[in-house]
Structure 1
Amino acid sequence: MKKILILILILLSCLPVLAQNWDWGDPIDPLQAKFKVLHYKLELTLLPDSQSIQGSNTITFSAEEKLDTLRLNLINYYQVEKVVMNGAEVKFSHQNDMLDVIPIDCTCDQVQVFYSGKTPIALNPPWTGGFTWTKDDLDNHWMGLSSQGEGAKIFMPALDHPSSQPTQGADLILTAPKPYFIASNGRLLEVKESEGSLTYHWSTDYPINNYNLNFTLGVFHEEKLDFQSASGKTIPMHVWVLQENRAKAKELLETLKVSTQTHEKYFGAFPFPEDKIAVVETPYLGMEHQTINAYGNNFQFIPMGKVNYDWLLHHELGHEWFGNKISVKDWADMWIHEGITAYGDWLFFWEHGGAEAYFSKVKKESRGITNSLPVVSPPNSTEERAYHSDIYTKGAMVIHSLRGILGDEVFFPMLKAFSSDDRFTYQNKVVTKDFTDFVEAFSGKDLDGFFNLYLYNTDLPKLKISKKNKDTYAIALQGIDFEIPLEIETSEGIKRLEIGKKGVEIKSASAPVVDPKGWLMLQK
């Protein structure tokens, strides 16, 4: 009987560890509010045969007071072997996905955690994330990691809260068996070869979101070029694709180049010029990972004008500006990441397809708006609570509506100015009010009613058109207590009028068409 139990335990240990529905957000833990992370130094060996990892993470932190407990997050699937501070092992407790470290009596600002274990397997990456271990068509191992919904705790000990990021960047020192390559964040400083393995040292000095820390393993073909940025700097640009897809790599690189140029035109210079612009082919659809975006869209290029468009590549690249450079401190405001980035997708149609393609795209996407939940979630939301489809489509539509209200001569400089403002970028995280206050200050317009209606509520104003006599029509918007500019197509051309619940009367020999281009979300 004892032998059977041992055999069962051995067999169970060989099974893959399926990811749970981990989440993150909520109010920050009081113990974690007492310190800030400055830097992560992640040293890991990736073991594809056993789908496991082993190594350590060194966390450099600052605290205004002496800490009795240094609380980190790390899922219990991993075994913590030891924790070291100031060269000495310290006591710790690891339970309920929390790692509580009891600091020794010192003025230490670093802790090193040694751990190992089988990785959690992603159930539906990237939406339900984890590790995706598979093999390519040549029978080589291929691994991707996705963790936006789960946080960094599924692969390393960290202060796992959206308000926290290592403000001085991170070093990722990653080892794999030969001949595997590991693509990661930042710039590649060194490759060390030892018997049977390769170690890659990636480094970034920029602040970086926890879920943006990432690594992908495989046997890849690389294409690269030097990208001339709008800033005047030359930035390395790379694509890494599986060997069986090497024939598509140059086209992917060119598509990446065009998308970067398009984003730079509307959002400003690429935000991480000291690192790189890059994508790596992953065994799941994709995800924004600072300077190493995951790409799994199977090279579905769409001709648009004189260039190719890849919606997945373009969208994830847009997050380098909104999501990575500008980051929210509370998942409640996640629409700033997804909505403005989704609007950047629409701008590709404007830039390369023209006005007709742009307005057709807007019309198509707006049909998917559900208005089931407000775009902005309640304060201290978890990622799961804040994540829903309208943060993409309705969020983008809010930005599109702002363009209609402000006009291009104000809107486009405003968008670029916001993405370049030091108050909101890199280590300075934002909330929705930062954005709305900035737009009002930049434009000189009172837009409180507009933002409250479309960001914090689900009701839409109802358009009412009444014929008064042969050539007179009354037009009003019910359900709002402010006026908003609307284009009205009449027999004499398009008029632009401020309209609210009191309404206006217009003359037209034919029935007027209100908002013919679809600038606003209305009940018609």
Structure 2
Amino acid sequence: MKKFLLVITILFASISLGFGQNWDWGGPIDPLQAKFEVKHYRLEFEILPESQSIKGKSTVTFSSNNQLDTLRLDLIDEYQVTSVQANGADLEFSHNNDLIDILITSCSCDAVDIFYEGITPIAINPPWEGGFTWKKDQLGNDWMGLSSQGEGAKIFMPALDHPSSEAEEGVDLLITVPKPYFVAANGILDQVKQDGEKLTYHWTTEYPINNYGINFTMGVFHEEKKNFTSVSGEQIPMHVWVLQENKNKAQDILEVLDVSTQTHEKYFGAYPWPKDKVAIVETPYLGMEHQTINAYGNNYRFVKMGSVNYDNLLHHELGHEWFGNKVSVSDWADFWIHEGITAYGDWLFYLEHGGEEAYFEKVDGTLKSISHSKPVASPINSTEEEAYHSEIYTKGAFIMHSLRGVLGDEVFFPMLKAFANDPRFTYENQVNTRDFIEFVQSYTGKDLEGFFQIYLYTTDIPEVKISKKGNKGFEVSLQGIDFELPVELETEKGIEKFKLGKKPLLINSINEPTVDPRGWLMLKK
């Protein structure tokens, strides 16, 4: 995921990086890029801290059912492409307008090597305005982090840079840095090679991975690790890499990571990447989800929740291992599936460790922040910038909360876990909002089309209307909808659930009933 949002207020800005560019991504896929798929990326490059630059090559393995004349990849113009090869032979190419067009008519190949170098784009306001962040730690060591969800992979490597493109066979990262620096990246650390005063770290994963999930962080770190026992029964390596100045906090945050992973597993199912690791690395910016190596920059601001410590940023970014990395969208129109369901996972930590009272306090506080300014689901073929706004988090989470209220715990929680583990929507298979709606309705056997249409696709909210009806009681209705919703009403008899719609329902009550007293739904009252 992206850009962490648990607090209600976010600073929004247009996406622009250190060079004054606007590197948005998504939208309609380029017709040339629609003709092929990327199977695997292999990055081999050196990080040069003194010049804040990188130099190396990227091997892109691809497949196509079409006869390709041109292989079109994305890479920002700030990098210089020095050559492109296939099977050791040079290929003709052009690099303009952040696109590399490689002529492959003369080669029988399924992979190309792209050699490139350049000064890295600097993040202005990471992770919201991403790029490379270069800082010094308190000991004077270089410390580099990368954030790219709003910009895509093209700011650090040649890629088919569209959310529908995931490297199905994973990625290999061979990153060279000066001693004594360490590089934390995706997957497992296969090998470390030393060549004089340089170290090369080879990280690898065979799992499918989205473009902005590919990541690396450089620094001088202290490591703490343990084995995490998954609900699947597997023992999964769990690591935290923190700056040397924070090594006395490493054991504490390792325990926080363990508790958060357990909590997510209870509601979302087994950790998605058992062959790799569960891990965080301390970064010089707030945070971001990166597959198996989440960025953490929340300064160890734990709060007590019941008997355990809670770090809202760590928990949120970890939740994206399920929603964002395992369950991912091919169109930013459906961005809320990443952020809304993950934000709801934050509320579930309150439920699990603080109880119902803490959970509903969180619900009520969030509801006050929702202005219903934009639909949660954006138009088809949206770019990241078009689809990103605060309500994909807040209102997206509230929609999940409302589903819990409508369906009941005995249906809702198994349904949520089933969705997170349905092979039609996980790993190499991506998902959209329509898939989610149809899954929920099929799983529950309930017609929820009206519910989803109004809350996901409009900014309208049902309005409660209550009228006194003689001595018999009160007529209650929901105006602005043409379907019925199960709604709790509180009278002197207690709380009961009724189906309400635009047709008034007579409620026998001495006093005016309270509609939705616990706050399951977004209603105008």
| Same fold at TM > 0.5 | yes
Q: Which amino acid aligns with 1:183?
A: A
Deviations along 1:97-154, whole A, 9 cap, x unmatched? 0000011423200001000000000010000000000101111000000000000000
Q: Match of 2:148?
A: 147
Match of residue 279 from structure 1: 280
> Per the alignment, in what secondary structure is the counterpart of residue 423 of structure 1?
coil
Whether 2:399 is the aligned partner of 1:398: answer yes
Q: Work out the CA distance in 1 between the residues paired with 2:371 and 2:176.
A: 46
Which position in structure 2 is the counterpart of 1:357? Answer: 358
Equivalent residue number for residue 311 of structure 1: 312
CA distance in 1, matches of 2:412, 2:503: 28
Matched residue, 2:380: 379
CA contact (8 A) 2:143 2:219 kept: yes
CA contact (8 A) 1:42 1:58 kept: yes
User: For 1:17-42, what per-residue CA distance to the aligned partner results, in whole angstroms no more than 9, with x for missing partners?
Assistant: 53622100111000000000000000
Conserved in 2, the CA contact under 8 Å of 1:126 and 1:146?
yes
Residue type of the alignment partner of 2:73? L
Whether the aligned pair in 1 keeps the contact of 2:18 and 2:124 (CA below 8 Å) is: no
Q: Which runs of 4+ in 1 moved over 6 A?
A: none
AA at the equivalent of 1:277 = V
Distance 2:30 2:175 in 1: 30
SS in 2 for 1:121: coil
Q: Secondary structure at the match of 1:236?
A: strand
**1:18–1:134 Cα change, 3 Å:** farther
Alignment match, 1:484: 485
Shift of 1:507: 1.4
* DSSP-derived class of the 1:358 partner: helix
Deviation string, structure 1 residues 300-359 (Cα, Å, up to 9, x no partner): 000011101100000000000000000000000000000000000000000000000000
Question: Does the 8 A contact of 1:46 with 1:174 survive in 2?
Answer: yes
Q: Is the 8 A contact 1:76 1:96 kept in 2?
A: yes
The answer to whether the 8 Å contact 1:453/1:459 transfers is yes
Partner of 2:5: none
Query: Is contact 1:19-1:130 (8 Å) kept?
Result: no
User: 1:19, 1:346 → 2: CA distance?
Assistant: 37
Match of 1:126 in 2: 127
Q: 1:63-462 to 2 correspondence within 5 Å?
A: 63-462=64-463
Task: Indicate conservation of the 8 Å contact 1:19/1:129, yes or no.
Answer: no
Give the counterpart letter for 1:293 in structure 2: N
Residue aligned with 2:166, SS: coil
User: How far did 1:497 drift?
Assistant: 0.3
Report the Cα distance in structure 2 between the residues aligned to 1:329 and 1:146, rounded to whole angstroms.
20
Deviates more, 1:390-399 or 1:510-519: 510-519
The alpha-carbon deviation at position 509 of structure 1 amounts to 2.2
Write the letter of the residue equivalent to 1:308: N
How far off is 1:465 after superposition?
A: 1.1
Partners of 1:488 and 1:277 in 2: CA distance: 44
**Distance across 1 between alignment mates of 2:22 and 2:248:** 38
**Contact 2:70-2:105 within 8 A present in 1 as well:** no
Length-normalised TM-score, structure 2: 0.96
Structure 1 contact 488–494 (Cα < 8 Å) conserved:
yes
**Which residue is equivalent to 1:3?**
none
For the residues of structure 1 that align with 2:425 and 2:192, how far apart are their CA atoms? Answer: 35
Residue matched to 2:4: none
* Separation in 1, partners of 2:129, 2:399: 28
Match of 2:3 in 1: none
Deviations 1:74-101 (A, max 9, x none): 0000000100012101000000000000
Query: Hey, what's the Cα distance between the residues in 1 that align with 2:127 and 2:20?
Result: 12
Structure 1: any 5+ residue segments left out of the alignment?
1-15
Matched position secondary structure for 2:313: helix
Give SS of 2:497's match: strand
Conserved in 2, the CA contact under 8 Å of 1:186 and 1:291? yes
SS in 1 for 2:209: coil
Cα distance in 2 between the residues matched to 1:87 and 1:464 = 74
Corresponding residue for 2:30? 29
Cα distance change on mapping 1:79 and 1:479 into 2, 3 Å: same
1:505 aligns with 2:506: yes
Where 1:266 maps in the other structure, the secondary structure is helix
Offset of residue 467 of structure 1: 1.6
Contact 2:19 2:122 in 1 (8 A): yes
Match of 1:56 in 2: 57
CA contact (8 A) 1:333 1:377 kept: yes
Distance 1:444 1:191 in 2: 53
TM-score, scaled relative to structure 1: 0.96
Q: Counterpart of 2:14? A: none
How far, CA to CA, are the matches of 2:515 and 2:342 in structure 1? 28
Segments of 5+ residues of structure 2 without an aligned counterpart are 1-16
Identity %: 67
The 8 Å contact of residues 173 and 201 in structure 1, kept in 2 or not, is answered as: yes
1 CA distance for matches of 2:267 and 2:474?
39
SS in 2 for 1:189: strand
Q: 1:508, CA displacement in angstroms?
A: 1.6
Q: Please report how far the alpha carbon of residue 470 of structure 1 lies from its aligned counterpart in structure 2 after TM superposition.
A: 4.3
Q: Which residue of 1 aligns with 2:6?
A: none
Q: Aligned partners of 1:148, 1:370: CA distance in 2, in Å?
A: 25
Are the equivalent residues in 1 in contact too, given 2:18–2:123 (CA < 8 A)? Answer: no
Structure 2 CA distance for partners of 1:119 and 1:296, relative to 1, 3 Å: same
CA contact (8 A) 1:74 1:98 kept: yes
Paired amino acid for 1:410 = V
How far apart, CA to CA, are the structure 2 residues paired with 1:135 and 1:174?
20
Partner amino acid, structure 1, of 2:364: K
